[in-house]
Structure 1
Amino acid sequence: MSTDLDTVIADAIAPSAAETDRTGAFPRAGLEALGKAGLLGLTSAVEVGGGGQGLRAAAEVVTALAAVCGSTAMITLMHYSATAALEAHGPEEVRRAIAEGRYLAMLAFSEAGSRSHFWAPVSTATDDGGEVRLDASKSFVTAAGEADGYVWSSRPLSRPGPMTLWLVPRDAAGLRVTGSFDGLGLRANASSPMAADGVRVPADAMLGTDGDGLDIALATVLPTFLVLNAACSVGVIEALTAKAGEHLSRTHLAHLGRRLADQPQARSAFARVRTRADQTRAFLDDTLTALETGREDATLRVLQVKAVAAEAAAAIGDDVMRLCGGSALRRDLGIERHFRDALAARVMAPTTEALEDFVGRVSLGLPLFDGPAS
């Protein structure tokens, strides 16, 4: 896998990463290259033609991508997250298309009405003469208008429960992108609002059972999303750390005849960056090990890992900007691009604050949710 991934990054992603960030243009060519290399089907089951790999392999892909292009990494991790739900409950033809690298799947959970509280959708699903009518105002959908299908949340059709999941194709009548994305970071991930105005899907577009969408999301989607979001932050951290090391090693203080790396204060500052980067990677690795071995604290680690990595990325980004001084503001060095990408994870649902509440609840033996989702 590493050889194929390295080739795709070197040939199709790295050369255009800075321009992709500058223009915000969706990185279609890079994603197509990932698909042709079998990397979009990496976690799909072998029986449908996929790679049959687990979360650790997906994390390696996302980390490597994020060190080069945060937008491509974010799109890929969202694709893997949607694939987790589709592998468990999706139709075989879609699963095969994903496995073959010709279908990009995304999540459509966040809504204007419930903001980052993805577990409490306000969008509706209603019976419409044998079909189902979906009406919604989604606030942030990665690859909006670019993906082939969306794992879509709504209130249940008829049964009790907090939500139901659907597979909505990109060409569904009444499905539209309602705004553009011009973000500070992750500028090319097309994270735009979408609306469903009387979108009709067949009843068998339901993923799983009516009303059980939150259970599906917690069992399949959320662990994948949280771990891979942390992997994305780790990749950005590694890029920032490498850039800082390069700057210290090559920048000379002519009046002293020494490099910045020869200055004890600069070395100490870099050591703190390097140490926190290693701590964050170690926490991600421990989380993956906890999941793979069925360790008792696996759920706790999953709830912690995105917040740990997101806050580390933001702090390291700030430290590297300070360490590299005015040079860090220059676009040609790439430091400021990775710094901007580093800021996204902490405010992406579930936010750091929401995850800290979840961690507190689990640690204190309380239910994960209050209200309708409990």
Structure 2
Amino acid sequence: MPVARITPTPEVGDLFTLVRDIGDAELRPRADPAEASGDYPRDVLRLIGRSGLLGLPYDDDVGGGAQPYEVYLQVLEELAMRWATVALGVSVHTLACWPLAAFGTAEQRKRWLPDMVSGELSGAYCLSEPHAGSDAAALSTRAVRDGEHYVLTGTKAWVTHGGQADFYTVFARTSDGGSRGISCFLVPADAGGLSFGTPERKMGLNASPTTLVYLDEVRVPTERRLGDEGDGFGIALQALDSGRLGIAAIATGLGQAALEASVSYAKEREQFGQPIITHQGVGFMLADMAAAVESARALYLTAASRRDAGLAYRHQASVAKLVATDNAMRVTTDAVQVFGGAGYVRDYPVERYFREAKVMQIFEGTNQIQRLVIARDLERNGT
């Protein structure tokens, strides 16, 4: 049974129907084999782009869907229920486009954004470095001005779509001075000096390539700098606020998929002469799983409504990301338990959900960083 969605207009209801149809026809059947083989589903992301789903939160004057974030996040959840790798691909692409959409000049937006939101160009977001993960202000990749170009040198780590993306939103140091010396650049994939490491061998999300990105004196025209010099760290943090909501929605979709699989299995699996869902130990576990998924959904929608209203939402985004991803880990763990021995083998999808949930607590800012953001906000502003 479909999850009840907030549909402010009939057109949004049609949008959710479209997403479910694409998800059931194109995503669900391919998820297990592609995750086993590690095949990157570029064709699926292109289909999603051509269906209008890669530019949902962006303005219609550049080909976007002009949808509220509340709607976009529910689309991400629907995709994640069917294949988390694809939902992550959409979220990362949206994150990579955001600095251009929010800080680019009118000319920059008109030139590059339409092909991005249509899905003809896929994006990657390059902030972390081997020595600078949670402490993003410590990044050391340099961008040195040379006439009408910048020369970028350094290494970026944990880049989703590394080696597959058509453009890379890169944060590099244009001056010393900690966070105030960082700038943002839009680097095309065919730039000379840009190369990539071997894809990481990961626990989950194996169809989503994650690599190091090497910048060896990459020359980038000054027209590809987004915002002013020194604006980069602020751009990165604002982008991550939105990105964390994307991860919260994906984690919620992953939890929903695990819950649905567990309920279905518990209705069919019999022990002691009756379906195991009738046994209180299992029934209460399923009830806790449902409560966790629904509370995560409520939190990301609340944060999204604040974003759509133009209100501050960093605190709420961190809360949503923290709770949704911790809940996804708990729900997928319990899903394996409901399945028993069958949950530990790859004949059922819950073992994959379990492996995929773990990284949700790590990327877009670890959950320890989310607690730090929340605690500092409480220190400054109270409850």
Task: Give the TM bin, normalised by the shorter chain.
Answer: over 0.9
1:204 counterpart letter in structure 2: E
- Counterparts in 2 of 1:51-200, with a 5 A limit? 51-90=65-104, 91=108, 92-156=110-174, 161-200=180-219
Q: Is the CA contact 2:262–2:286 (under 8 Å) kept in the aligned structure 1?
A: yes
Segment of structure 1 superposing worse, 308-317 or 6-15: 6-15
The alpha carbon displacement at 1:294 in A equals 4.4
The residue number in structure 2 matching 1:272 is 288
Mean CA deviation greater in 3-12 or 133-142: 3-12
1:323-362 residue pairs with structure 2 within 5 A?
323-362=338-377
Aligned partner letter, 1:242: E
Offset, 1:208 = 0.3
Residue 274 of structure 2 is matched in structure 1 by: 258
Matched, 1:2 2:37: no
> Which deviates further from its counterpart, 146-155 or 276-285?
276-285
Identity within the alignment, %: 26
- Distance in 2, matches of 1:119 and 1:63, equals 31
Assess if the C-alpha contact under 8 Å between 1:131 and 1:203 holds in 2. Answer: yes
Runs of 4 or more consecutive aligned structure 1 residues displaced over 6 Å after TM superposition: none
Deviation at 1:3, TM superposition (A): 2.7
Q: How far 1:159 moved relative to its partner? A: 8.8
Contact 1:287/1:302, CA 8 A, preserved across alignment: yes
CA contact (8 A) 1:80 1:224 kept: no
**Separation of aligned partners in 2, 1:363 and 1:16:** 44
C-alpha offsets along residues 29-52 of structure 1, whole Å, 9 cap, x if unaligned?
Answer: 211110110111222211122211
Q: Distance in 2 between matches of 1:174 and 1:269?
A: 53
C-alpha contact 2:79 2:87 (8 A) present in aligned 1: yes
SS in 2 for 1:331: coil
1:270, distance to aligned residue in structure 2 (A): 1.1
Structure 1 residue 25 and structure 2 residue 39: aligned? yes
**Counterpart contact for 1:310–1:346, Cα < 8 Å:** yes
Match of residue 204 from structure 1: 223
Q: Is residue 264 of structure 2 the alignment partner of residue 230 of structure 1?
A: no
Please list the CA deviations of residues 65-89 of structure 1 after superposition, one character each: whole Å capped at 9, or x if unmatched. 1111111111110111122212123
Q: Report the equivalent of 1:310.
A: 325
Identify if the C-alpha distance between structure 1 residues 43 and 289 changes in structure 2 by more than 3 Å, giving closer, same or farther: closer
The answer to whether residue 254 in structure 2 is matched with residue 239 in structure 1 is: no
Paired residue for 2:7? none
Runs (5+) with no aligned partner, structure 2: 1-14
DSSP-derived class of the 2:128 partner: coil
TM-score (norm 2): 0.90
**Contact 1:173/1:199, CA 8 A, preserved across alignment:** yes
2:12 — aligned with what? none
Secondary structure (helix, strand or coil) at the match of 2:229 reads coil
Q: How many residues align?
A: 362
For 1:148 and 1:52, how far apart are their aligned partners in 2?
Answer: 23
Secondary structure of 1:132's aligned partner: strand
Q: Distance in 1 between matches of 2:310 and 2:54?
A: 26
Q: What is residue 9 of structure 2 aligned with on the other side? A: none
CA deviations 1:325-371 (Å, max 9, x no partner) are 111112121011111111111121410111111111111018xxxxx
8 Å Cα contact 1:159/1:210 also seen in 2: no
